[in-house]
Amino acid sequence: MKQSKEIIIGGVSNKELLLLVKQLYAAVKAGYNIAQALEIAVGQAKGRLKFILTQVIKDVGSGAYLHEALTEHEKYFSPLFLNLIKTGELSGSFQENLEQLVLIIEKEQEFKHKIRSAMMYPMFILVAVVGLGLAIGLFVLPNLLPLFGSLDVDLPLSTRILMWFARLFDAHGGKIFFLFFLFVFTLIVVSRMKFSRPVTHWLLVKTPLLGTLVRQLSMARFGRSLASLTRSGMPIDDSLNVMTTVLTNFYYQHIVRVSIPLIKKGQTLAGSLEKHPLFFDDIFIKLLALGEATAGLEEACDNIADYFEAEVDDAMRNLTISLEPILIIIVGLIVAFVAFSILGPIYKITGNIR
């Protein structure tokens, strides 16, 4: 299945994916076959997604399965998405799996929206702190040297510290800002590279507050994804193989990977995961064990996902509440330090004149 050269810039957003799956689900439910459903969906698509669907329609028309045609563009679709489509086609539960995908994408969008909303105000304050620091470095400090250098008074310690920063920025201000942004950019790039994941992901898990949030997010995603895969009819070991690509944290991927041979030998999933208490909470293991014991694994995984998504929601709210006063205090301390450093010598001068 060769495809023509892609010349369109941009990817496929979650919003576009949700609309696509909803259209496919509605068309299939109404009695259309997959090819007809794709023809309906391509009429509403734009940009990259329209290009992909045009190629997919050609491949499906040539006799390919939908999941095979979509795999040609796998960088735009998650492994969970592709595997639910594949399982649905091969097991005859395509309509039911599309319905599951609608619920999964809606849940993920709602979840991401909650996280973005919770972090908006702290990020605004953080940007304000950085902006304040840049403004002081670029506009305030360079003007302090001639002003305070001409004063014949003993300068307070805070003023001397500020003057030291003023000289530093006056001599190397451009280099300092360049190196700062270079450091931030390099840190972001390196943290996304595969070789750094064992270190960066371990730090994420172990960092206070943030580590709890990362673990809860991973357990919520684990529960939601495993519920969808097993409900689609996929065997547990195949589902776990998919989970190694769905989970984003290096250590969760590794734990699932080493659990697969244990499960093939007859060990329960809960039994293999409880060996890693740092990554899986006790309530996660108990809910999972109960689901396996009662043959209700899908429902147990749904309960796990609901529980930990609610925990993440509470954690984000608490993190926001904790960060807001801390960031405001930092801004206040910076402003107070600069104000005291500037006004202190002035008060000394006016006192001597009297």
Residue 55 confidence (pLDDT):
92
The enclosing H or E element of 29 equals: helix 14-29
Residue 105 confidence (pLDDT):
86
φ and ψ of 35, to 5 deg: -60, -45
Residue 6 confidence (pLDDT):
47
Residue 235 confidence (pLDDT):
87
Q: Give the long-range contacts of residues 63-70, CB within 8 A, separation 24 or more.
A: 64/1, 65/89, 65/90, 66/34, 66/38, 68/1, 69/1
Rounded Cα–Cα distance for residues 76 and 162 (Å): 51
Neighbours of 127 (CB within 10 A): 10
Distances (CA, A) of 326 to 94, 134, 191: 51, 20, 26
| Architecture label for domain 111-354 | Up-down Bundle (1.20)
Taken in order 334, 340, 341, 346, the sign of the CA dihedral is positive
Residue 5 confidence (pLDDT):
46
Residue 221: alpha-carbon gap to chain centroid: 12
CA angle 133, 135, 136 (to 5 degrees): 65
* Total-model pTM: 0.71
Tokens of 323: 């960060």
Rounded Cα–Cα distance for residues 290 and 296 (Å): 8
Residue 287 confidence (pLDDT):
93
Q: How far apart are the first and last CA of the chain?
A: 90
Provide the residue-wise pLDDT of the chain in tens; the chain has 354 residues: 444 444 555 678 888 888 999 999 999 999 999 989 999 988 888 888 899 999 999 999 898 999 999 999 888 888 888 888 988 888 888 888 888 888 888 888 887 777 777 677 777 777 777 777 667 666 766 666 676 666 666 777 877 777 787 777 777 777 887 888 899 899 888 888 888 888 888 988 888 777 888 899 899 989 988 988 888 888 888 889 888 888 889 999 999 999 999 998 889 999 999 999 999 999 999 999 999 888 788 899 999 989 998 888 887 777 777 777 777 787 788 778 877 777 777 776 666 555
Rounded Cα–Cα distance for residues 312 and 220 (Å): 9
**Of residues 26, 15, 40, the one with CA closest to residue 95:** 26
Rounded Cα–Cα distance for residues 316 and 313 (Å): 5
User: Which SS3 state, helix, strand or coil, does residue 49 take?
Assistant: helix
Tokens of 68: 């095979």
What residue ranges do the domains of the chain occupy? Answer: 14-77, 111-354
Residue 326 confidence (pLDDT):
79
Neighbours of 133 (CB within 10 A): 13
Rounded Cα–Cα distance for residues 16 and 52 (Å): 12
Q: Give the start-end residues of each E strand in 11-110.
A: none
